[in-house]
Structure 1
Amino acid sequence: MNNIPQLPVSSWIDKFVDWLAGFEGFFNGVTNFIGGIISGFQWVFDVLPIWLFMLLVLGATYWLNRNTKHWTLLIFEAIGLLYIWNQGFWRDMTQTLTLVLTSSLIALVIGVPLGIWMAKSRVFAVINKPILDFMQTMPAFAYLIPAVAFFGIGMVPGVIASVIFAMPPTVRMTNLGIRQVPNDLIEAADSYGSTGW
């Protein structure tokens, strides 16, 4: 009906994807790096005997909740771990735990410096806020499609998608934590000779 020319968006996206495909060495390097972290975590979980892993998890839970004395949490956790072991899903559980730990580690390593940068630079905060909003509102599965296209099939695309989804809260909380430090504490720190670092 109208004579407005149609924008060739699909051809632009195809050209952009073809251009990104030229960086195959970079994507292989990222895949190998993340795969190394995954292998390290999985090796630790494979080396630990199951009973020792359970004792470590239950001991950590007890130590973190030592003031509240919630025995029901410990009992429920022990029953859950024993059930996973009994049903033969122990390796699947450790692979999921490996994915979560790897994603959390990478999200912290990237997110905390970005949050500090946002707290220090108002311009960067204004630019970064809509990007973080977009990253948080998209479902995590939407990130899997390009991750699989560039990083192949396996645990690495899952880690990439999880990192993208987990990074915005890390960046926001770091930024908010630094910005909410009271001015009198900052002045006191400055008077004692603390630097920006």
Structure 2
Amino acid sequence: MKHSPRVQRLIDTLTCLPGVGPRSAQRMAYHLLERNRDGGRLLAAAMADAMDGVQQCQRCRNFAEEALCSVCADPRRQARQVCVVASPADVLAIEQSGEYHGHYFVLMGQLSPLDGLGPRQLGLDVLEQRLGEGEIDELILATSTTVEGEATAHYIHDMVEGTTVSLSRIAQGVPMGGDLEYVDGATLAHAFRGRRPL
């Protein structure tokens, strides 16, 4: 049995979400059609509103509804200190820590030529321009330790080399409350390389 064209289109559309395959999309579509049509309408309206009303901040590339996001528009933030992150989710995680009070630069990904993500797609030309204009004194890299994250960090390191900008990378290693016996070797190696005096 085939779905009607509208149901099939709904299922096909839902598969654009990360981690949602045809079976999950079918379950979601059936749930909305069988039990929650009002929720489906609200979801559709919220999605349309977000797609039309959310843009990238002109300074940091984070999601914003105005020209500048709330962090870039806040005069209390340390504007000359910039933390480079891969995604808006990383900004949220760092903000929840309450430890960082500077600005951000959001790459919206990490270097991955196979996925078509080069320096230009990540806005690294914009970051390089800001570095050249002397807007930034300190750059903090908060990219992941994946192959793509390491490649991105090395690319930015090469960009900063020869400038007066201070460059650092957030520490990687043993999580709070973690027992060493359960931590993998690569994480322990990062923890030893990132140790600091007490």
Please say whether Structure 1 and Structure 2 have the same fold, judged by a TM-score greater than 0.5: no
Q: Which structure has greater strand proportion?
A: 2
Structure 2 length normalisation: TM-score?
A: 0.27
Structure number with bigger Rg: 1
Using CA pairs below 8 Å that are at least 6 residues apart, which structure has the higher relative contact order?
1
